[in-house]
Amino acid sequence: MNQLGEKPEEVRKRLEEEKRQARRRHEDDDAERSQEPPQPAPPKGPVPGDALRETHPDAQDRQ
């Protein structure tokens, strides 16, 4: 018995059950994620306005 008065086999069974439940929750989360539509990808290329920001006379002061 341990300090809480539990027998080792009881502790082992409880830990195994907790692992199973955690695994099920993780699998459920994965299943929910696969049903959601994928997020749109960020636009490729330069961000609009970057060219203006670089050539603006105050651009160096703002950085």
What pLDDT, on the 0 to 100 scale, is given for residue 5? 72
Residues in the chain with pLDDT values less than 50 = none
**Does residue 33 lie in a domain region?**
yes
What is the DSSP-derived secondary structure letter of residue 47? Answer: P
What domain count does the chain have?
1
- pLDDT, residue 17, reads 95
Q: Calculate what percentage of the chain has a pLDDT beyond 90.
A: 13
Q: Which residues of 26-48 are buried (b: 16+ CB within 10 A; e: fewer)?
A: eeeeeeeeeeeeeeeeeeeeeee
State CA 63 to chain mean position distance. Answer: 32
Question: Does 53 reside within a domain?
Answer: no
- Domain containing 5 equals 1-41
CA gap 23, 27 in Å, rounded: 6
What does DSSP assign to residue 58?
T
